[in-house]
Structure 1
Amino acid sequence: MTAPLTPDELCSHLATQGIPFHRLDHEAVFTVAESKSLRGTIDGHHTKNLFLKDKKGRLFLVSALESTRIDLKRLHQTLGASGRLSFGSAELLEEKLGVTPGSVTAFAVINDRAGDVTIVLDANLMSGEAMNFHPLINTATLRIARDDMLGFLRSTGHEPLIVDLPAPVDGQND
């Protein structure tokens, strides 16, 4: 198995592909709540990323606006998954995407050379604003234009599934 790319290798890859980005190094952030301290420093859409699997073992990497409430009880219907989705284990995350919990990012599909993971983008990310994702670690953030991100995903062999993510009914947990 090929070793996963490092953050610097990812940035070099983007530069080689002619994909512009802006990198900001910062303190480690493990949650959306922790990353809010960076607001005002980084423009564009801030994201949250979920690594999920269905009953048959299909894997999904869901990237959404950080404020999006996602109904995990109904998401499988939107994605055509087999049964309800659950979070993939830390071991599976590292095996398939080469990242650790807290560093989940759409950029990690570059490490999914077998094409085992379906990348899912929240339709709300497609407004045209730049997007922000970790570059395989949670001590930096890359801002990248929407069309450049779509081009990057496609260049890795991952055609993004762009969907309206189901929101939970008020009163339910998300």
Structure 2
Amino acid sequence: MASAELRNRLEELLKRLNIDTICVDHPEVFTVEEMMPHVAHLSGAVTKNLFLKDKKKKSLWLLSVRHDRQLNLSDVAKRLGLGSGNLRLADESLMLEKLKVGQGCATALSVRHDRQLNLSDVAKRLGLGSGNLRLADESLMLEKLKVGQGCATALALFCDTDRSVRMVLDRDLTHGGHQRVYFHPMTNSATMGLKPDDLLRFLQETGHEPVVLSFD
């Protein structure tokens, strides 16, 4: 399914939920560094998102953190109770299947874009065991989220109808006093902002009650 159609479906869902958004269109971007010049004027928290898998249990996780976080997957895995070294990046085909977006568009461990993250620590905090979290490959992301590289986004979770992807959210995004939090709307050529409370409501409506972790 084309990203334009998926974006339309997302916008229709948000409208039905009476969720107010703002959206900025920009050239296609694949990294936070490429994106920031186009969104630096926005008030709120920009996110970076990782689509992850547990190498032992094969569970899938979407991690959204503030864009400036530095991540250590082993630490994240331990915080999730997966065990150190057991969290991996999911491949793009799975992301497309579940979230309908490809690489560069991912949305599910959601943190502020400037966060420094240790995935081993996150895994431990999630009860996964240090080192058990890995970035999932793009094929897996395409399969599960319907987006590919550069598009990971929490907003793609409406595509995960069997609820096989678990959401991990940076506490700063919902409790940091931000006017809005920003994600790709199924395409990496736009950035969408919504209020923190509306993000939580969206996740609840899609059946993805988030695990909220503090990275401060």
Could you say whether these structures have the same fold, taking a TM-score greater than 0.5 normalized by the shorter chain as the test?
A: yes
| 1:79 paired residue number | 80
* Partner Cα separation in structure 2 for residue 114 and residue 81 of structure 1: 22
C-alpha contact (below 8 Å) 1:64/1:121 kept by paired residues: yes
Task: Output the amino acid matched with 2:177.
Answer: G
Give the unaligned 5+ runs of structure 1: 168-174
Q: Give the aligned length.
A: 165
Q: TM-score, normalised by structure 1?
A: 0.89
- 4+ aligned runs moved over 4 Å, structure 1: 2-5
| 2:173 paired residue number | 125
| 2:38 paired residue number | 38
* Partner Cα separation in structure 2 for residue 161 and residue 138 of structure 1: 25
TM-superposition CA deviations, 1:114-173 (whole Å, max 9, x none) = 0000000011212131100000110111110000000001000000110124x8xxxxxx
Report SS of the residue matched to 1:149: helix
Give the unaligned 5+ runs of structure 2: 87-131
* Partner Cα separation in structure 1 for residue 40 and residue 78 of structure 2: 36
* Partner Cα separation in structure 1 for residue 61 and residue 17 of structure 2: 25
Distance 1:8 1:24, change over 3 A: same
Identity percentage over the alignment?
37
**Bigger relative contact order, structure 1 or 2, given CA contacts below 8 A and separation 6+?**
1
| 1:115 paired residue number | 163
* Partner Cα separation in structure 2 for residue 26 and residue 41 of structure 1: 13
* Partner Cα separation in structure 2 for residue 36 and residue 3 of structure 1: 25
**How large is the RMSD of aligned CA atoms in angstroms?**
1.8
Report SS of the residue matched to 1:100: strand
C-alpha contact (below 8 Å) 1:47/1:65 kept by paired residues: yes
Deviation at 1:42, TM superposition (A): 2.2
